[in-house]
Amino acid sequence: MLTFLVRRVAAGLVLLYVLATTAFAMMSLTGSDAARNIAGNLATPAQIAVKKHELGLDRPWIEQYAQWLGHAVRGDFGTSWFGGDSVSESLVLKAPVSLSIVVAGLLLATVLSVVLGVAAAVRRGWLDRVVQATAIVGYAVPSFLMALMLSATLAVQLRWLPATGYVPLADSPSGWLQSITLPAISLAIGAIAATAQQVRGSVIDVLRQDFVRTLRSRGMSERRVLFRHVLRNAAPPALTVLSLQFISLVGGAVVIEKVFGLPGVGSAAVTATVNGDTPLVMGVVVYLVLIVVAVNLLVDLAYGWLNPKVRVR
């Protein structure tokens, strides 16, 4: 198990290095003109040149990257070129916002997709058809559109929930819940649709297997068969879909944070990329890759727990 873990962590670090290098190269070679954006529209070419020199943008990108990497491995991600804030501190402030909506979205997706998927598989008939049709619609509607619709109706029209902004959990638990509800629902709908279908399919497959028939013939109750045996066997494929959905939720959060004016990592990533704020973009890249690697590791561990044969590989 330890070798398995070490291998996974090493693969994660390689992925982090490759993605960070690619991101830095892309920011440097095709990114926007940060010096000009900082200096403003009325800056003269001479002023822009001074700013470029100040930021080190007049040096080859590989040299800039080596310097960034040297600091990054020591945990120093520098300061944002625009706000002047420490990138690490900025991410510490923004990460709870993004994690709140992503984790809440994932929990929502997990609970609802399992409930809907299992109900559709067990009940079949009209419920199955409704779940499938709803899933197709849910999957087809982009999360940003869902966000705009929810915001326009529940927040702006009815004023049930805030249209924008984030309240930290420590400040007000109810305010926090209100501020993340609509973004989390917007994010979760696509994931619910995809995962519910997967759960439904897996449960139907397992229900058709011989061991289920055997268990039933022994007089085991339907509930026990379902919760003790069927769900455990149907879980791994659903877990795979959920882990992929998590990555997709992290990506979706970028747009959702914009729509709801949330000061999260995604929102910062968009602004920083447009402005060409390389230190902040790189900080966000490292943060996101680490999250994705960690989640994949957790999923692998969960697989191992569910199916000991996996650990041998």
Partner 1 sequence: MRRMVMAGVALALVAVPACNGGAGTTASATGDDTLTLSIGNAHTGWDLASAALGDNIQYYEPVFDSLVRLDTKARPRPNLATSWSYDSTRTVLTMKLRKDVRFTDGRALDATAVRKSLLHNKEGTNEAAGKLRAIDSVAAVDPRTVAIHLSAPDPQLVVNLGDPSGMIASPEDLAAKGGPVGSGPYVLDKGATTNGSTYAFTRNPHYWNPKAYPFDKIVIKNISDPTARLNALLGGQVDWARITPQTAQHAKSRGLEVQGHADSVEGLYIWDRTGRIVPALGKVKVRQALNHAFDRESIVEKLNLGYATATSQMATAGSTWYDTSLESNYTYDPAKARKLLAEAGYPHGFTVTMPDVSSVAPGQQVVMTQALEDIGIKVKVDKIPFTRLFTALQSGEYAMSWFKLQSGQPWDFIQSELAKGAAWNPAKDFDPKLNSMIDKAQRAQGAAQTAAFREINAYLQDHAFNAPWDVLDAVQGNSKKIKVTPRAFVSAVPIYDMAPAG
Binding site for partner 1 (CB under 8 A): 31-33, 36-48, 50-51, 54, 82-85, 89-90, 93-94, 108, 111-112, 115, 119, 148, 151-152, 155-156, 159-166, 174-175, 177-179, 181, 185, 258-261, 263, 267-268, 270-271, 274-276
CA atoms of 179 and 168, how far apart (whole Å): 9
Q: Smallest gap, in angstroms, from Cβ of residue 49 to partner 1? A: 10
> H helices within the chain, ranges in order?
2-30, 34-39, 45-55, 61-72, 87-123, 125-140, 143-150, 173-207, 210-217, 222-224, 231-259, 265-275, 278-306, 309-312
Phi, psi of 79 (to 5 degrees): -120, 150
Q: Smallest gap, in angstroms, from Cβ of residue 303 to partner 1? A: 26
Residue type at position 40: G
Q: Which is nearer to partner 1, 51 or 200 (CB)?
A: 51
Q: Smallest gap, in angstroms, from Cβ of residue 29 to partner 1? A: 12
CA atoms of 169 and 267, how far apart (whole Å): 19
Q: Which is nearer to partner 1, 106 or 292 (CB)?
A: 106
- Could you identify the residue written with the tokens 């996996």? 310
Q: Which is nearer to partner 1, 25 or 244 (CB)?
A: 25
3-state secondary structure of 96: helix
Q: Which is nearer to partner 1, 32 or 209 (CB)?
A: 32
Token representation of residue 54: 């100040």
Q: Which is nearer to partner 1, 9 or 92 (CB)?
A: 92
Q: Smallest gap, in angstroms, from Cβ of residue 159 to partner 1? A: 3
Q: Which is nearer to partner 1, 70 or 165 (CB)?
A: 165
Long-range contacts of 26-30 (CB under 8 A, 24+ apart): 27/273, 27/276, 27/278, 27/281, 27/282, 28/61, 28/64, 28/65, 28/278, 29/61
User: What is the per-residue DSSP string for 234-284?
Assistant: HHHHHHHHHHHHHHHHHHHHHHHHHHTT--SHHHHHHHHHHHT-HHHHHHH
Q: Which is nearer to partner 1, 56 or 308 (CB)?
A: 56
CA atoms of 313 and 309, how far apart (whole Å): 8
Across the strands, what pairs with 86? 79
Q: Smallest gap, in angstroms, from Cβ of residue 126 to partner 1? A: 14
Q: Smallest gap, in angstroms, from Cβ of residue 39 to partner 1? A: 5
Q: Smallest gap, in angstroms, from Cβ of residue 248 to partner 1? A: 20
